[in-house]
Amino acid sequence: MLDKLKTDYIDYGFIHCLDELDDWEEYKKNGALDYMLKLKDEGVIRHIGLSSHTPATAQVILNEAPVDMLMFSINPAYDYQQGKWAFGSVDERTALYQRCAADGIGISVMKPFAGGQVLDAATSPFGEALTPYQCFKFALDKPGVVTVLPGIATKAQVDQLLGYFDASEEEKDYSIIGSFKPSDAVGKCVYCNHCRPCPMGIDIGMVNKFYDLAKSGDAMAAEHYRQLEKNASDCVKCGHCNGRCPFGVDQMSRMEEISSYFN
Ligand code: SF4
Ligand code: SF4
C-alpha cells in the first residue's frame, strides 16, 4: 500500500472513531494498538491520532495511548448537548479541550456545523441559522484547537469557507448562541470577546482562557498570561463587559479572581 503512495511512511495512524469503552478494550485485546505502536517504533507511522465524539472515552484513551492529535466534533449544538453526537456535559467537554491544550495534543475539529444542523433555522437550537464563519470562530476559540475541517463537496464551497480569513469580527460573532444555553453553561466564559471593547485594552477572552487553562494545570498558559500586555490587574471595574456578555458571566468578579490567582 505504501509502495503505491510512493512513500515509506505516513504522518498519522488513526485510532478511528472510538466512542465506546468496550470497543477500546477490544482494540487493545485484538492487537490493533500494539501493531500501531510497533509501526510507530519502526518509523512507518510518525504520529498517532484518535477520533472520537465522546469526552469520557477520549480521556481514557489519552491516558492509555501516546496520542499526538485528537479529531473531535466541536460545534455550538454538540457543546450545548443538542444533536446526534452531543456527548458529555459542558464541563466534561471543556475538561477534554483543556487537557489537550495542557498536554500539547492538537485538536482537529470535525463536524463544525453539526452535520448542517446549526446552519438551518429549522434545526438550529439557537432559533436561527448560524453561519459557517460563526461556527469556525466558536471552534477556534476552544483551548487546544489547531484546525477546523468541514466536509466540502465543491470548489465554490472551498472559496466561500476561505472567506473566513477576510471576514469581519461582526461576521464571526457567535454571541447569538447565548440565547440558548444549558444551565451548566450559564456564567461560563466561552472566550468569544463579544464583551469587548474593554476601555483598558484587556483581551478579555484570552485572559479567561489562560486562567482556565492555568487552573487546570497548564504551566505554559500561566506563562502566556504573564506575557500579556494587559491583564486582569488592569481592570478598572467599569462594568461594560458585564452588560455585554450574553452568557451571564460576571466578568468584573472574574477579573478580580483572575488577578488574585496570578498575583
Ligand atoms: S465574558 Fe462573556 S462575552 Fe466576554 S468573552 Fe467571556 S463569554 Fe464572551
Ligand atoms: S470591567 Fe474590567 S475587563 Fe470589563 S470592560 Fe471594564 S475594565 Fe475591561
Asked if residue 194 is part of any domain, the answer here is yes
- Residue in 230, 229, 235, 227 with CA at minimum distance from that of residue 257: 235
pTM: 0.88
Domain count, the chain: 1
Ligand 1 centroid distance, CA of 148 (Å): 22
- Terminal Cα-to-Cα distance of the chain (whole angstroms): 56
At 184 the pLDDT is 77
Average pLDDT over residues 168-193: 89
How high is the mean pLDDT of the chain? Answer: 94
Ligand 1 centroid distance, CA of 63 (Å): 31
Asked if residue 231 is part of any domain, the answer here is yes
pLDDT band at 185 (very low <50, low <70, confident <90, very high): confident
The CB of 237 under 6 Å from ligand 2? The reply is: yes
Q: Residue 205 CA: which ligand is closest?
A: 1
Handedness of CA 48, 27, 77, 111 (dihedral sign): positive
The CB of 200 under 6 Å from ligand 2? The reply is: yes
Beta-bridge partner residues of 64: none
Asked if residue 237 is part of any domain, the answer here is yes
Phi, psi of 37, deg, nearest 5: -65, -40
Atom of ligand 2 nearest to the CA of 234: 7
Q: What confidence tens digit (pLDDT) does each residue in 31-46 have?
A: 999 999 999 999 999 9
204, 230, 249, 257: which to mutate for ligand 2, most atoms within 8 A of CB?
204
Q: Report residue 248 as a C-alpha cell.
A: 451571564
Q: Report residue 179 as a C-alpha cell.
A: 440565547
**Could you say which DSSP state residue 80 is in?**
T
Ligand 1 centroid distance, CA of 156 (Å): 33
Atom of ligand 2 nearest to the CA of 204: 3
The CB of 204 under 6 Å from ligand 1? The reply is: yes
The CB of 189 under 6 Å from ligand 1? The reply is: yes
Asked if residue 36 is part of any domain, the answer here is no
Quick check: 149 and 110 in contact, CB under 8 A? yes
At 178 the pLDDT is 86
Asked if residue 205 is part of any domain, the answer here is yes
Q: Report residue 245 as a C-alpha cell.
A: 456578555
Quick check: 232 and 259 in contact, CB under 8 A? yes
Asked if residue 148 is part of any domain, the answer here is no
Top pLDDT among 50 and 186 is at 50
Asked if residue 225 is part of any domain, the answer here is yes
Task: For residue 193, give its domain range.
Answer: 187-263
Cα separation of 128 and 143, whole Å?
Answer: 26
Average pLDDT over residues 94-108: 96
Ligand 1 centroid distance, CA of 177 (Å): 12
Ligand 2 centroid distance, CA of 96 (Å): 29
177, 208, 210, 240: which to mutate for ligand 1, most atoms within 8 A of CB?
208
Ligand 1 centroid distance, CA of 152 (Å): 31
Q: What confidence tens digit (pLDDT) does each residue in 59-85 have?
A: 999 999 999 999 999 999 999 989 989
pLDDT band at 254 (very low <50, low <70, confident <90, very high): very high
Cα separation of 175 and 248, whole Å?
Answer: 11
- Residue in 12, 22, 118, 11 with CA at minimum distance from that of residue 74: 118
Least confident of 90-99, 135-144, 177-186, 240-249: 177-186
What DSSP element (H or E) covers 73? strand 69-73
Please, what is the angle between helix 251-262 and helix 219-227, to 10°? 100
Q: What percent of the chain has pLDDT over 70?
A: 100
- Residue 151, SS3? coil
At 17 the pLDDT is 84
Whether residue 179 has pLDDT greater than 90: no
Phi, psi of 15, deg, nearest 5: -85, 105
Write b or e for each residue in 193-222: b if 16 or more Cβ atoms lie within 10 A of its Cβ, otherwise e.
bbbbebeeebbbbbbbbbbbbbebebeebb
Ligand 2 centroid distance, CA of 241 (Å): 6
pLDDT band at 182 (very low <50, low <70, confident <90, very high): confident
Asked if residue 49 is part of any domain, the answer here is no
pLDDT band at 186 (very low <50, low <70, confident <90, very high): confident
